Chain A
Amino acid sequence: MKLRGKAWKFGDNISTDHIAPGRLFHLRSNLPELAKHVLEDADPEFPKLVQAGDFVVGGNNFGLGSSREHAPTIIKLAGVSAVLAKSFARIFFRNAINVGLPVLICDTDQIDQHDELEVDLAAGTIKNLTRGVELVFAPLPEVMLTILEDGGLAAHVQKHGDLRLE
């Protein structure tokens, strides 16, 4: 599957408080409304201008902090097709797979704000069409690939009636 869109660049240590802040705690049961504020404390323009298919591109330790699954969920709800970063915080990474949001580890120094990207999930490659460079990303562990291919953890359990990961 190929994904295509524009890069939205963020720095290191983007926390779940940047993505889904505590001051909007009351919107956690209204995810479409919460998604209108996604990442606004890191870049106020992002939730207003992001388009379906675009990519969130972070630096080191993207998604650090809380276990709130609402964070990857509203990134996905905003239309983002994948998050690319040099590294991810553990819980965010697992949550993203669980909600069906691809998270790709690659050298994001090769990507600038608003570069046009094409991601081939099966081939494990990212083409930066603006800069004419191709990046590779590390393949997901098999367990996570299974969950992602099933459409997330809830869909996986619905399909199999159990965890079928061994």
Chain B
Amino acid sequence: MGQTLAEKILSRKVGRPVRAGEMVICPVDVALTQDGTGPLAVRQLQKLNMVRAACPGRTVLFIDHAAPSPRKELSNDHMLLREFARETGCVLSDVGAGVCHQIIAEEYARPGDVIIGADSHTVTAGALGAFATGMGSTDVAMGIALGKTWFRVPETFQIRVRGRFSPGVGAKDLILHLIGRLGADGATYKALEFVGETIEEMPMTDRLTLSNMAVEAGAKVGLIPSDEETRRYLAAMGREGDWQPLAPDADAEYERVVEVDVSELEPMVSAPHTVDNVRPVGELAGTKIHQVFIGSCTNGRLADLAEAARILSGRTIHPEVRLIVVPASRRVFLEAIDAGYIRELVAAGATVLAPGCGPCVGVHEGILGDGEASLNTSNRNFQGRLGNPAGFIYLASPAVAAATALKGEIADPREVLA
């Protein structure tokens, strides 16, 4: 019997064939924390007298969630992370470098890797064929010090995608549609495996969007086979040598197969307060929006900023909207400057902030007022997510976000693209 991608990666790592349902103790290739979870991980290691890393060069402490720091308590947390990195030789990714998951994709993740991160969106690196999953601070702390962790090998839902997107529709609409179909807990503990002609033709930037949101259906990983596109992306990042092909076996066993044809798909929007509350944009068009956020590990890449700039270039955003743009990494920021997108967005009225998580976690840089609504290209719309439980959050693609910023209300990008 063949293996799913999840079974294949974990089997290679533990050195014996393993099947869904088994418990394994598995070596860790990359471990990461961010400034919301890293301080607790560091304190656990200090308490256990284990201030060390099994693989410091591939252990990365990110400062991205509250960066630059808006409060002295957080500044002190940042100091703790910098000190730990100095002491152990772990990599520090400081203010302005970008969102952890984007930098893991650009600089660290390799097909076949096992990656653990104290952040639920660690699943993003599944797009490169890495078994990448989120855990808590203590799990990751032990992974850092011991170089291993435990897993239950997950069962897999294979997501077979076919068809070509119509203009103004893309990967974000596909993943929102899927989460709406599966439900916010529809894939709890499962691996998602995205395959099919649409995925084969999809650029890495969009694959990262799919894998990033696997956790919003409850999944443990969101895996995509490693192919020529993976090789092209790694080569563009200057690390083609990290590439290896990786695919599931044709006779692998799946708990469930989900078929999607994207050719009829419309732009989708997730309405407050759960991500699976998904509707076609037309059903929500006209909803008053006070803030638009384009960025995050879901949709803060160059192609996302390009899409927004294409819609907003030469135009001015609605006077009652704040448009906040946050490039996902320093590399993305520099490329967007060189391509002229940043100039076009700022000229249209955008506020551009330092690479990082921006307002996504509700700590700073765009907290909502009571009763206000924001439309974000990020991945969560839970109550309170933007720092105020009396706020409302909608999730959508960069195209919908840009159209919404123009109109001051939720808008269909196909109407402004024409």
Q: In the assembled complex, how far is the CB of residue A69 from the closest CB belonging to chain B, in whole angstroms?
A: 3
Which of B138, B139, B220, B386 has the most chain A CB atoms closer than 10 A to its own CB? B138
Q: Which residue of B lies closest to A155 (CB)?
A: B48
Give 1 or 0 for each of A86-108: 1 = CB within 8 Å of chain B CB: 01011100110011000000000
Q: Which residues of A contact B148 (CB under 8 A)?
A: 163
Q: Which residues of B contact A154 (CB under 8 A)?
A: 44, 47-48, 138, 141-142
Distance A113 CA – B159 CA, assembled complex (angstroms): 40
Q: Which residue of A lies closest to B137 (CB)?
A: A69
Interface size for B (C-beta < 8 A) is: 57
Q: Is B358 an interface residue (CB 8 A)?
A: no
B residues apposed to A, CB below 8 Å? 23, 25, 36-37, 39-40, 43-44, 47-48, 50, 65-66, 71, 73-74, 76-77, 80, 117-120, 122, 134-139, 141-142, 146, 148-150, 152, 184-185, 188-189, 218, 220, 274, 361-363, 367, 380, 382-389
Q: Which residues of A contact B362 (CB under 8 A)?
A: 17, 21-23, 25
Q: Which residue of A lies closest to B120 (CB)?
A: A67
Q: Is A15 an interface residue (CB 8 A)?
A: yes
Q: In the bound complex, do residue A91 and residue B384 qualify as a contact, i.e. CB atoms below 8 Å apart?
A: no
Q: Which residues of B contact A9 (CB under 8 A)?
A: none
Q: Which residues of A contact B188 (CB under 8 A)?
A: 61, 87, 89-90
User: Given A41-B383, A60-B185: A94 and B135 within 8 A (CB)?
Assistant: yes
Q: Which residue of A lies closest to B49 (CB)?
A: A158
Q: In the bound complex, do residue B146 and residue A94 qualify as a contact, i.e. CB atoms below 8 Å apart?
A: no
Interface size for A (C-beta < 8 A) is: 43
Distance A65 CA – B188 CA, assembled complex (angstroms): 12
Q: Which residues of B contact A132 (CB under 8 A)?
A: none
Q: Which residues of A contact B73 (CB under 8 A)?
A: 26-27, 29-30
Q: Which residue of A lies closest to B386 (CB)?
A: A22
User: Given A18-B382, A22-B385, A165-B23: A28 and B36 within 8 A (CB)?
Assistant: yes
Distance A67 CA – B143 CA, assembled complex (angstroms): 15
Q: In the assembled complex, how far is the CB of residue B101 from the closest CB belonging to chain A, in whole angstroms?
A: 12
Q: In the assembled complex, how far is the CB of residue A156 from the closest CB belonging to chain B, in whole angstroms?
A: 9
Distance A90 CA – B184 CA, assembled complex (angstroms): 12
Q: In the assembled complex, how far is the CB of residue A124 from the closest CB belonging to chain B, in whole angstroms?
A: 20
Distance A154 CA – B146 CA, assembled complex (angstroms): 12
Distance A38 CA – B148 CA, assembled complex (angstroms): 32
